[in-house]
Structure 1
């Protein structure tokens, strides 16, 4: 039968809501031939999306082959980005993000009672893990240097995590949802406590 009508909602990307985010720090590779301001981050994200599906012993060569297909990259740039991505994939603290039940670039769309009225989000989560007893998700960040704590992260990043957390909590009300940022510089994983996510949502609600 026809679905019940729903009130019109404002569909937005999590990065479009809230206070304007500060301009991202310029990469040390910015201005270097073959490397635009955001290109390093985009390429490392692509490696982290593709490489987990390959056996560990072939990942280094695969990373280099993928990057060498990109126009204008020098050998040192290829090695630096390969090392950054492989450092995340090979780190024991991050193994759960790439194990059974994990998904790359997981599309998410929906609303939550924790979001401002009439707002639904549409976005992609870099890595999502759904387990019978919990849900884990992480966004990858390539800023350098990585902040020393989650509290020092860009407020826009925390807002993005908080909005994903709100919607996933509606989808999986029977289990805890845990969020984290993964920094390729280090590499470093910084979990986001639920209290910090709720604070970010409160600020978003007041600004709406």
Structure 2
């Protein structure tokens, strides 16, 4: 039961008057029961609506619902299969740590991409800037590339010595102007290509996840290139760190099933020279065999 109290006049009743009006409305109502206020002891009214019994469902309605809904499948009541905790995806750049798991892991605070004479923080930032320039500049008109690169280096290398900004700019300009790299930066090439797949590593299926710096696809050939900013740049394949070879071997293994009938080649572009060192298929096969235990 809902009691609505209203008042029409120039001046509304105060709180005490409203309390009196509501109290008189509740007196004598079958849903109202007098109680003593637990704190003040004064008489108050408790308004309670009696709950009605549920309405019985008609037999016809029960029969209709029984025909409309089929019994629940038994599989719904079976326990769920155990959750399979998948291993963390393996990064190609760090996969060399799994080649000899029996050997105790040694924390190496150095990195082959860091400048041996410069601070590590600067070397990392410099490498990231070169990667970004090689990613973005090929999509910009040649006449506008130098200005775009200078603007970017003024922001990204604001704390660098001016000579280092000049070296970075000259390195990228030399690479993009070299005719040997035309196919690598052609319009049909792509930068920062994410790849993911699975590979059996020593009897266990592992997820592989990585990012290719540059991918170029031509008729019958797929070329993978990874940028490295080593100082000094390796002169020959024998000087290349084995981890680099394994990294590109994993990229190659992931792409081969995606491009049947294509030759998948891989190379390292050392930006300081600049120098492109192609990796022979046999070298990558050997590195992959050491990782997988095949």
TM-score, normalisation: structure 2: 0.62
- Secondary structure, aligned partner of 1:73: coil
Q: Which residue of 1 aligns with 2:172?
A: 85
Structure 1 residue 9, shift from structure 2 partner: 6.0
Match of 1:31 among 119, 133, 136: 119
Higher relative contact order (CA 8 A, sep 6+): 1
Alpha-carbon distance in structure 1 between the residues aligned to 2:107 and 2:186: 32
Q: Deviations over 1:6-63 (max 9, x none)?
A: 995652111222237963254166239xx62311111111110111111112211211
Partner Cα distance (1:191, 1:102) in 2 = 18
Q: Could you list the runs of 5+ residues in structure 1 that have no partner in the other structure?
A: 1-5
1:41 correspondence with 2:127:
yes
Mark the structure with the bigger radius of gyration.
Answer: 2
Which residue matches 1:166? 253
- SS at 2:170 equivalent: helix
Query: Structure 1 residue 174: deviation in Å?
Result: 1.6
My pick for the range that moved more, 8-17 or 118-127, is 8-17
Structure 1 partner of 2:140: 54
Distance 1:86 1:132 in 2: 28
Deviation track 1:128-164 (CA, whole Å, cap 9, x = no partner) reads 0122311111001110111111232011111100000
Using the alignment, how far apart are the partners of 2:212 and 2:107 within structure 1?
19
From 18, 35, 56, the equivalent of 2:96 is: 18
Change (3 A) 1:195 1:116: farther
The 1:46/1:161 distance shift into structure 2, 3 A limit, reads same
Inter-CA distance 21–156: structure 2 relative to 1 (3 Å threshold) = farther
Return the offset for 1:85: 1.2
TM-score, normalization by structure 1 = 0.86
